Structure 1
Amino acid sequence: MKLYPIQAGHFKLDGGGMFGVVPKSIWNRTNPADSNNMIDIAARCLLIEEGNRLILIDTGMGDKQSDKFFGYYYRWGDHSIDKSLAAHGFHRDDITDVFMTHLHFDHCGGSIQWNKEHTGYEPAFKNARFWSNKDHWEWATKPNAREKASFLKENILPMEESGQLNFIERTNGSFQNTSELGFGILFVDGHTDKQMIPHINYKGKTLVFMADLLPTAGHIPLPYVMGFDTRPLLTLPEKEAFLTKAAEEEFLLFMEHDAHNEILTVQKTEKGIRLDQTHTFNELFN
């Protein structure tokens, strides 16, 4: 097995939305806001090369939405999935599987693109199987009013229409040690229903793709929960259980949304679980 960080782009989100009830005077220390109250966010994906499979975890926003839509998110930098794949010697047509932690637009928008005629949509990875789970798919395709703006039908329905959609078969309990893609999955419900958090055994370590269970290093303290979470009081025990285990078992936390910290470790302190160290992927594995 070999892993590759894939940069799908950078954007900005409202700092207040990202930290919920936590005052700006506190969160601004770790996630400084600009004059519009926006903080830096990454769309950092992960590519797994395992035998003849190339598995891409999440795909970022993509580029098919309108200028008005993207104007809300202040995209910055010149990263893209295509550039990042090419830097590692791959092309999007090489991808065999696309695993989506959940179907919010900033995690799956890059999975679908305009067709050549610009008359409709098609999979952006023509040779890939797309992976979600039945419960989350149902949640996303019949969205509640709170999440409707995040579950965009043009990002989601073409996966099914193309015949490329597959579902992870969930076993009993919130964690399953193995899946159809060869890695463990933690199911969490605080941010959105049945978000999937991959746990990958790599070079003697457990690397965890954090998705929206832990957006940035600034979100490690338990009450620092996004205003976007649908069940914030459920996020609290989910975070506590996960971070406690992460500290005890020395997990490496691969940060999808932290624009300035690629991998974290955490430790137990008198104040609870706190940041231990930050690393780049290359420091640890190259």
Structure 2
Amino acid sequence: MKLYPIQCGKFKLDGGAMFGVVPKSLWQRTNPADENNLIDLGTRSLLVEDGKKLILIDCGLGDKQNEKFFGHYSLWGDDTLDKNLKKYGFVKEDITDVFLTHLHFDHCGGAIEWNDDRTGYQSAFKNAHFWTNEQHWKWATEPNPREKASFLKENIMPMQESGQLNFLPTPQNGNYGFAPDLKMDVIFVDGHTEKQMLPVIQYQEKTIVFAADLIPTVGHIPQVYVMGYDTRPLLTMEEKAKFLKQCVDNEYLLFFEHDAHNELASLKMTEKGIRLDETFSMNEVFGY
């Protein structure tokens, strides 16, 4: 098995929105803002090569939205999903499974693209199964007013129409069925959105957790540093407390989806609680 970080693209969001009630004087130490109060963010996927399976965890914003839409997110850099798959010798047609932590547009937008004549939409991964869970699918297709702008129909409904949509089954003997040989567990969390899924992968005697939107950047490691986008911020703090302890106790490495500058991190216990220990690239840890 091999793991590859795939940066799908970079964007910016308001720092205040990303840190909720935490004062700027604190969060800007780790996530400095520009003159418009915007902070750097990424959409980093994780590609898992395991035997005949090639599994992509999340797939970024995609490129089918119009200029006005992307104008709200200040795209920057030249990273794309296609470009960074190619770096490791892959194309989208090679992907067998797309595991979606949740269906907000910045996590699943790349799953669907325009068809050839731009009259409708089609799957961007012709040979893949899309994986979500039934409770989150219901949440996304019957959205509450707070999240409605994040659950875009053009990202979600074509997955079902393609016939490629699957709901994660109940695990059997610790395995979820879509990749029989993959040593992966899933942590479900509900503070950000209903039944967000965090993959936990055993790899080269280490455990890597895809932190998704529970801990989007290194600046969000402290328990009370919670995004303004979360639907249940108090629940997020409870979930983070449990999760952070689990990470420290088991020496998990966090894989960051939205941190534009840091791929992996270890954690440590301090007098102020659990904090960042060290940051690493995948290359530094695994030598490729």
The TM-score with structure 2 as length reference comes to 0.96
Which aligned pairs between 1:57-206 and structure 2 lie closer than 5 A? 57-170=57-170, 177-180=174-177, 181=179, 182=182, 183-206=184-207
Matched, 1:256 2:232: no
Alpha-carbon distance between aligned partners in 1 of 2:56 and 2:233, rounded to the nearest angstrom: 28
Aligned pairs, how many? 283
Indicate conservation of the 8 Å contact 1:186/1:197, yes or no.
Answer: yes
Superimposed CA distance per residue, residues 134-165 of structure 1 (whole angstroms, 9 cap, x where no aligned partner)? 00000000000000000000000000001000
2:213 corresponds to which residue?
212
Change (3 A) 1:21 1:170: farther
SS in 1 for 2:40: strand
SS in 2 for 1:184: strand
Alpha-carbon distance between aligned partners in 2 of 1:17 and 1:212, rounded to the nearest angstrom: 13
Indicate conservation of the 8 Å contact 1:178/1:185, yes or no.
Answer: no
> Identity of paired residues, percent?
64
2:245 corresponds to which residue?
244
Matched, 1:226 2:223: no
Superimposed CA distance per residue, residues 13-38 of structure 1 (whole angstroms, 9 cap, x where no aligned partner)? 11010000001111111100011110
Indicate conservation of the 8 Å contact 1:53/1:96, yes or no.
Answer: yes
The TM-score with structure 1 as length reference comes to 0.97
Alpha-carbon offset, residue 178 of structure 1: 2.8
AA paired with 1:123?
A: S
Superimposed CA distance per residue, residues 88-133 of structure 1 (whole angstroms, 9 cap, x where no aligned partner)? 0001000000000000000000000000010000000000000000
Change (3 A) 1:177 1:37: farther
Alpha-carbon distance between aligned partners in 2 of 1:15 and 1:84, rounded to the nearest angstrom: 27
SS in 1 for 2:258: coil
1:276 corresponds to which residue?
277
Alpha-carbon distance between aligned partners in 2 of 1:35 and 1:177, rounded to the nearest angstrom: 48
Alpha-carbon offset, residue 170 of structure 1: 3.9
SS in 1 for 2:4: strand
Indicate conservation of the 8 Å contact 1:177/1:185, yes or no.
Answer: no
SS in 2 for 1:197: strand
SS in 1 for 2:46: strand
